[in-house]
Amino acid sequence: MTVRRFDLRVMARAVGVELDEAFEKLRGLYAYVDERNAGNTRDLDLPCHRGCSHCCKESVFLTPLEFFFAWDWLQTNATDALLGSIIAKGLALYQEHKGLIDALDGEHTPEHDVIAARLKFVCPVLGDDGACEAYPGRELYARLFGSSFNEDGGVYGCHLVGAHLGGKSVTLLRARPVAKMLEALPLTFKRQVYPYYIQWMYGGSGPT
């Protein structure tokens, strides 16, 4: 089976964005986050490691630019079999959670957080071995998860990270200011989940 691989640069150019330029800025942001996180967490022995996939079983949100970046990595590096499997899982998840996913589209409202809390599934990009299939191209919140503070000053991470860092005085990045840096880049006007983007591209409603 041959899986269609879209020309993402042509798609972005259609809305006035030079994708390689946007990718270069995104790489710079990711490098900054990764470097800061590496320094901040070096001696914390966090439970986040290959095979731990707690954060991949929640709502994994990313902007269109981040999806293009991750998908560009997959289109370049994944086999047709792997890419086809991710697409099939993404399309099935979209159909299963269509009501909630569609309700998240559009302008962000306070109700979005309530809906997002109800939207739980295994990310279609998660491999059978518990590792992200697009790890080098993973989105910002995946890079921050377990390694940053949330808006309330608590740890942005799962219960494992919270328990591990409980009572410790640590220095971590704050997620919201870093997210603001992302929002200064093109194609960051909304956040959605992987199944939404996969449906858009491969479900018949996207570019042909």
In tens, the pLDDT along 44-68 reads 777 777 777 778 888 889 999 999 9
**CA 55, 57, 135, 8 torsion-angle sign:** negative
Provide the pLDDT for residue 101: 96
- Kindly state the DSSP code that residue 126 receives in the 8-state scheme: B
In tens, the pLDDT along 141-199 reads 999 887 888 888 787 777 777 777 787 788 889 999 999 999 999 999 999 999 999 99
**Which residue in this structure is represented by tokens 């960051």?**
188
Cα separation, 141 vs 13, whole angstroms: 26
Q: Which residue has the higher pLDDT, 106 or 97?
A: 97
Provide the pLDDT for residue 82: 97
